[in-house]
């Protein structure tokens, strides 16, 4: 570790980590990527953030950010060349709140129904779908969720829509959500998403760090 760049502890498929990486990439911030296994978390990450979830961003001065939205805002406040923060803040917060609250609640019980007592995956899928219909209307009207250009709201939300879609891709593709489906496909086939989904070797604390 050089000590001059932030360190990001990340897990490739975690949607929270995805959106942190998206914002860091958009900000053109240089950082050290440490890929981890959630079942074998490195002691250095747990020392920085005992709650043990990704993403975790450790600054050169020792400051720690361990909430994905905090990392997104911090990165874009340093540099925001594409204007991700130049949107309607109230709408952004409402949309992300809808994603991180009700949508994520139902998504977990749809995708991982066996982990929750008495969870009916079809009921929770329907609740997710109701929220996606709201997103569909916004995208049909604006092009993106919070305007005509990609902003923080899109980056914060599409990794979770991706997770929903991939739970049963055949079912998702058959739904009448043409604008949302095109919006998701555009983000998933973008150069940025390809860049932030590149594979990294697993970080080991006992490796040579010089």
Are both 94 and 130 inside the same structural domain? yes
- Of 82, 103, 137, the position where a domain reaches its end is 82
Query: Domain range spanning residue 117?
Result: 89-190
Are both 77 and 100 inside the same structural domain? no
Q: Does 207 map to a domain? A: no
Beta bridge partners of 77: none
Q: Does 199 map to a domain? A: no
Beta bridge partners of 60: none
Are both 98 and 52 inside the same structural domain? no
Q: Does 204 map to a domain? A: no
| The pLDDT of residue 209 | 47
Are both 140 and 56 inside the same structural domain? no
152-173: string of b/e by CB count within 10 Å (b at 16+)? bbbbbbbbbbbbbbebeeeebe
- Of 21, 52, 82, the position where a domain reaches its end is 82
| The pLDDT of residue 208 | 46
Residue 29 tokens read as: 């911030």
Q: Does 120 map to a domain? A: yes
Are both 35 and 65 inside the same structural domain? yes
58-92: string of b/e by CB count within 10 Å (b at 16+)? beeeeeebbbbbebbbbbbeeebeeebeebeeebb
CATH number of 44's domain? 3.40.30.10
Q: Does 209 map to a domain? A: no
Q: What would the 3-class secondary structure string for 48-107 be?
A: HCCCCCCCEEECCCCCEECCHHHHHHHHHHHCCCCCCCCCCHHHHHHHHHHHHHHHHHHH
CATH number of 117's domain? 1.20.1050.10
| The pLDDT of residue 206 | 82
| The pLDDT of residue 207 | 59
Please report, in tens digits, the pLDDT of each residue of the chain (210 residues total). 446 899 999 999 999 999 999 999 999 999 999 999 999 999 999 999 999 999 999 999 999 999 999 999 999 999 999 999 999 999 999 999 999 999 999 999 999 999 999 999 999 999 999 999 999 999 999 999 999 999 999 999 999 999 999 999 999 999 999 999 999 999 999 999 999 999 999 999 985 444
**Rounded to an integer, what distance in angstroms lies between the CA atom of residue 37 and that of residue 209?**
19
| The pLDDT of residue 158 | 98
How do strand 7-10 and strand 56-58 relate by DSSP bridges?
Answer: antiparallel
């Amino acid at each position: 570790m050089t000590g001059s760049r932030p360190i990001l502890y990340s897990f490739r498929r975690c949607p929270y980590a995805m959106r942190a990486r998206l914002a860091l990439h958009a900000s053109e911030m240089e950082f050290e990527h440490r890929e981890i296994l959630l079942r074998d978390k490195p002691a250095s990450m747990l020392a920085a953030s005992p709650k043990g979830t990704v993403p975790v961003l450790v600054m050169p001065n020792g400051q720690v950010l361990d909430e994905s939205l905090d990392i997104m805002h911090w990165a874009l406040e340093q540099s925001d060349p594409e204007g991700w923060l130049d949107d309607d803040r109230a709408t952004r917060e409402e949309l992300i709140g809808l994603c991180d609250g009700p949508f994520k609640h139902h998504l977990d019980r749809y995708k991982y129904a066996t982990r929750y007592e008495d969870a009916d995956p079809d009921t929770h899928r329907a609740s997710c779908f109701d929220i996606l219909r709201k997103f569909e209307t916004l995208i049909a009207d604006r092009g993106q969720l919070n305007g005509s250009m990609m902003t923080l709201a899109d980056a914060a939300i599409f990794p979770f829509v991706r997770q929903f879609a991939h739970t049963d891709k055949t079912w998702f593709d058959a739904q009448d959500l043409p604008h949302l489906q095109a919006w998701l496909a555009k983000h998933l086939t973008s150069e940025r998403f390809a860049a932030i989904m590149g594979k990294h070797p697993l970080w080991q604390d006992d490796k040579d760090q010089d």
